[in-house]
Amino acid sequence: MKAIFTMALFMAIWINSAPGLFAQETQSNPGSKVPRWISDKGYWQIESNIYKPDKNIVYFYNNENELVYKEHLEGIVLNLKKKYVKMRLKKALEIALQMWNRDRAMYSDRQLITRLFK
In a domain, 82, yes or no: yes
- With the C-alpha atoms ordered 29, 38, 106, 66, is the resulting torsion angle positive or negative? negative
> How many domains does the chain contain in total?
1
Q: What is the pTM for the complete model shown?
A: 0.64
In a domain, 63, yes or no: yes
Cα gap 21→25, rounded to integer Å: 10
Q: Is the pLDDT of residue 8 over 80?
A: no
Cα gap 93→84, rounded to integer Å: 14
Least confident of 5-9, 31-35, 85-89, 109-113: 109-113
Q: List the helix and strand counts (H, then E) for the chain.
A: 3, 3
In a domain, 113, yes or no: yes
In a domain, 92, yes or no: yes
The pLDDT tens digits of the residues spanning 15-67 come to: 766 555 554 445 555 667 889 989 999 999 999 988 998 898 999 999 999 99
In a domain, 61, yes or no: yes
Q: Is the pLDDT of residue 111 over 60?
A: no
In a domain, 17, yes or no: no
In a domain, 58, yes or no: yes
The per-residue pLDDT for 112 is 56
The residue range of the domain holding 62 is: 35-117
The pLDDT tens digits of the residues spanning 67-89 come to: 999 999 888 888 899 998 899 99
In a domain, 14, yes or no: no
